[in-house]
Amino acid sequence: MLNLPTQDHRLEPYRLQGQPLVPRMPCIQLTRTAFAAAHVVSDPLRERNPWDTRPAVDWDATLAFRTGLWDQGLGLAEAMDTAQRGMGVDWLTAKELIERTMAAARSHPMKPRVACGAGTDHKSLSELRTADAIIAAYETQAAVIENAGGQIIIMASRAFPAISASPETYATVYRRLIDSAKEPVILHWLGDMFDPALKGYWGSTDVAKASDFVLGLIRDNPAKVDGIKISLLDQAHEEEFRARLPEGVRLYTGDDFNYADLIAGDGKHYSHALLGIFAAIAPAAAQALEALAKGDLSTYHGLLAPTVPLSREIFRAPTRFYKAGIAFLSWLNGYQRHFIMPGGFQSSRDITHYAEVFRLADVAGLLAKPELAVHRMKVLLALHGID
């Protein structure tokens, strides 16, 4: 029995009630491409001056977590915002992460798909004042990814809004990156709820105008665009957008609120997945996608429906702090020895939030080792003065 805090400032007794899902490999080929965006595990024993220096990474735990995702049939989105890019994790750390992950993927029996984020974060914003400078920064990171054998995700860059870039500037940069990539790329539209510095991306705060621009960008060379990840938390917009995509170009949902319905589809179109929440709910996600591939919508929704309230809590405003909930569940489930994040990011959420994540994860069958989860939750509660 635990005493968990509630939103109305009470302590409420809680007893576990869920039946943990057992992670396993799907028994048939999935009909949706599913990338789980994974976090990095810190090494707190080697961490020094965590706000001012490069993070120390526990590479064994970080790569073991990725292997666990691959073992369940999921792909991996590497070095994205879920891995705290620009929020505690610098480019040199991300570069090493990409290279280590790609080596591990090559040795994995499933030969999993791995797509990696290329950005501009190794340069300061003051160094990224022109289209040529932004292109050069992207190309530096894209070359690392291609040399390692990964697929490129062209991450949204803060450099564009910082210079109030026009649509013409976006077109110049993205046209060069798309056309020069060795393999088709994934575009990345991350809303300002995830990163306030990305407000007005694509040169407009009008989502309809921004959508028209991006669709035009894709139509100019659809053979070089695998898909686009959209993270605007707007189901209606995503459904409308994906219906306008050229044949063969995928919509990768980044909507951590409405993913279940978007992936299931509307009978004509459906979304694939590139989601941070999939790293936290991997057993439910993988087994739901297996059911979907079998045409078993009842089981699909039965597995994913309980995860949606959990995801909405993890990604609640301020949404940019969602990484803390994902690392918290990793700790509860024994994938890491501690609950310490790069830059001390675990402090971005309060104990009431973590208590609610604990409850919802239990209901969804996502506390893999219940006794361990209870023990660790008690430790966190005690640190907050709750017996």
Residue 57 belongs to a domain: yes
Let me know if residue 10 belongs to a domain: no
336 in a structural domain: no
Amino acid occupying residue 8? D
- Classify residue 11: in a domain, yes or no: no
Q: Predicted confidence band at 387 (pLDDT cuts at 50, 70, 90)?
A: confident
386, part of any domain = no
Dihedral sign from CA coordinates of 70, 251, 276, 84: positive
Residue 284: phi, psi to the nearest 5? -65, -40
What is the domain range of residue 90? 24-322
Over range 160-175, report the average pLDDT: 98
Amino acid letter, 193: M
Residue 319, CB-side half-sphere exposure with 13 Å CA sphere:
20
Look up residue 205 and give its two tokens.
Answer: 């705060």
Residue 374 lies in a domain: no
Write out pLDDT tens, residues 243-278: 999 999 999 999 999 999 999 999 999 999 999 999
62-110 confidence digits (pLDDT tens)? 999 999 999 999 999 999 999 999 999 999 999 999 999 999 999 999 9
Assigned domain for 357 exists: no
191 phi-psi bin (left φ>0, alpha ψ -120 to 50, beta other): beta
Q: How far apart, in whole angstroms, are the C-alpha atoms of residue 76 and residue 66?
A: 7
d(CA 170, CA 164): 11
DSSP category for residue 18: -
What is the CATH number for 223?
A: 3.20.20.70
Phi, psi of 186 (to 5 degrees): -110, 125
Domain count, the chain: 1
The answer to the question of residue 14 being in a domain is: no
In sequence order, what are the beta bridge partners of 273? 34, 253
Confidence category of residue 48, pLDDT binned at 50, 70, 90:
confident
Q: Residue 21: CA atoms inside 13 Å, Cβ hemisphere, count?
A: 24
Query: Confidence band (pLDDT; 50, 70, 90) for 50?
Result: confident
Please give, one letter per residue, the 3-state secondary structure of 242-285: HHCCCCCCEEEECCCCCHHHHHHCCCCCCCEEEECHHHHCHHHH
